[in-house]
Amino acid sequence: MDDILVDQPETGLQLTDIELSGYNGYEISCAGAFDGSILFNVSGNQGPLSYSWTGPNGFTSNEPNLDGLASGNYEVLVLDENGCTLSSNFDINEPSPLVLLDEVSDYNGFGVHCNGGNEGFIYLDITGGSGTTKIEWSGPDGFISEASRLEDIFPGTYHVSITDTNGCEINKTYTLTEPQGLEIAELSDEK
C-alpha cells in the first residue's frame, strides 16, 4: 500500500494587520460623513483571493480593502482558489451629530430692551460630536469670545463657529435688533 500525502494549510484563512479608520474613538469623522476605511491582509491562502463585501443601504464591493465608507456594519467573504472561505464583520461607527440649541434675548421682538442698550444675550447648549468643542464668536466693533453664554451684549450681528475634535463644524449667525430711539417732537406755541 502506498502512502498518500495531502497538502493542507495548517491554519486556514486568517485576517491579519486589520486597520480601521480612526477618529477619536470612531471610524467616521462626523455624523453623515463618508470617510471610513477597512484595511487588512489575509494569510493561509492558496492562490489568488476573491472578496465579496456587503454593507448598509445595499452596499456591495469586490475590492480587498475599502475606503469612503458610511457608518454601518460591513461583512466580507474571502475565498481562495481551493474553495476555503473566511467571513468577518466590521462595525464602522460615527459620532452623534453636533446639535446646537440656543436661547436668544427677546424684548418684544428686539434683541435689547432699549435703543442703544446692552442687555442682549445668547446662550448656547451644544451636544454630540466627538471630544471637546471649540467656540469662536465674532461680532460688531471687533467683538470676539469663546464663551457658550454671551451676556450684556449690544445690538448687532454675531457669528459663531463651533468645531469638535474631529473638525465637525456648525456655523450660525444671530442678529440682535434694537427698537427705534425715542424722539421728542417740538410743540408749537400757536394759539
Q: Encode pLDDT of 128-157 as tens digits.
A: 999 999 999 999 999 999 999 999 999 999
The residue among 142, 147, 141 whose CA lies nearest residue 162 is 147
pLDDT in tens, 75-117: 999 999 989 999 999 999 999 999 999 999 999 999 999 999 9
The residue among 24, 30, 19 whose CA lies nearest residue 90 is 19
CA-to-CA distance for 6 and 26, rounded, in angstroms? 45
CB 64 within 8 A of CB 51: yes
The residue among 146, 133, 76 whose CA lies nearest residue 100 is 133
Grid coordinates given for 191: 394759539
pLDDT reported for residue 6: 45
- CATH code assigned to 14-92: 2.60.40.10
CB 173 within 8 A of CB 159: yes
Confidence of residue 5 (pLDDT cuts 50, 70, 90): very low
Grid coordinates given for 68: 469612503
The CATH architecture to which 99-176 belongs is Sandwich (2.60)
pLDDT in tens, 17-66: 999 999 999 999 999 999 999 999 999 888 899 999 999 999 999 999 99
Cell 475590492 -> residue: 63
